[in-house]
Amino acid sequence: MFKKGLIILMALMLTGPALAKSGKNSIQVKGSDTMVNLGQAWAEKYMEENPGEFVAVTGGGSGTGFSSLISGTCDIAMASRSIKGKEISLANQKGINPTEIKVALDGLAVVVNPANPVSKLTLDQLAGIFTGTISNWKDVGGKDEKIVILSREINSGTHVYFKEHVLRKGNADGKEEFAQSALLLSSSQAIADEVAGNASAIGYYGMGYISAKQKAIAVAKDASSEYITPTIENVVDGKYPISRPLFIYVNGAPQGLVKKFIDFALYKEGQDIVLKTDFVPIIK
């Protein structure tokens, strides 16, 4: 079902008018921190192939991207969550018609320090840890150490998705919140760096940020289910339980340079970049 004021475009239906407000030969892209590396990789290749055209990509979180789209200060908002009803209403009040386009899939990795002996957790255990009802690693098979909870800040689409789908288990009426002790960090890279240097820490981010300095936890839907690691193959197969789509939003249907850039992102060359940046292409 379509939300009021929200146009959802399938990947191959990129036609119609848009209301880009950037310079004549430039595109402003802003939003999801998860998608910054992907967006910048798209921009670099696009500009290499289109001399004289400029694409600026910055992060700040999905909420920041939506705010910028609504205020007319960006042409494309990157988002790791769907736009909320109140954001659509605010946009409509300002004459903005948000258009959602799915561009990739992502597995949301839960990570710990490589020195941590814990290597697998259920969704219930993750919910317990991040809400604070489980506060010691020994309660999930680890050492007798206090768990240090790391989260993205509340403006992050990754924060919202994790809360809604892990803490609240998809229950729209759920009231579960992150533990008050959770440290809210400004970027996925900040979480990665903190986990790399703290043997008691646990955090989450898009699987494209995983490196040898962190260990990705295998996650199971429940204690009787298979524990699955966040890999491209497992996201494609639908096995990994914390997977999500990634979106871009524009005002109206894209046209001009905005359409040209989106076409690039959605077709083979752009989707090859999706794979190279450790996300999952939506077009094979």
pLDDT over 90, % of the chain: 87
pLDDT band, residue 283 (cuts 50/70/90):
confident
Residue 43 vs residues 101, 134, 259: alpha-carbon distances, Å: 17, 43, 14
Q: Which is higher by pLDDT, 9 or 145?
A: 145
Q: Which CATH number fits domain 106-236: 1.10.8.80, 3.40.50.970, 3.40.190.10, 3.40.449.10?
A: 3.40.190.10
Q: Is pTM beyond 0.85 here?
A: no
Residue 239 is given by DSSP the state -
Q: Which CATH number fits domain 7-104+246-276: 3.30.70.270, 3.30.390.50, 3.40.50.720, 3.40.190.10?
A: 3.40.190.10
Collect all residues with Cβ–Cβ distance below 8 Å to 193 and sequence separation of at least 6.
Answer: none
For CATH 3.40.190.10, the residue range(s) in the chain are 7-104+246-276, 106-236
Mean pLDDT score across all residues of the chain: 91
User: What pLDDT does 24 receive?
Assistant: 72
Residue 187 is given by DSSP the state S
Backbone angles phi, psi at 76, to 5 degrees: -135, 130
Closest CA to 114 of 207, 200, 9, 21: 200
Tokens 């768990």 belong to 147
pLDDT band, residue 23 (cuts 50/70/90):
low
Query: How far apart are the C-alpha atoms of 135 and 187, rounded to whole Å?
Result: 24
pLDDT over 70, % of the chain: 92
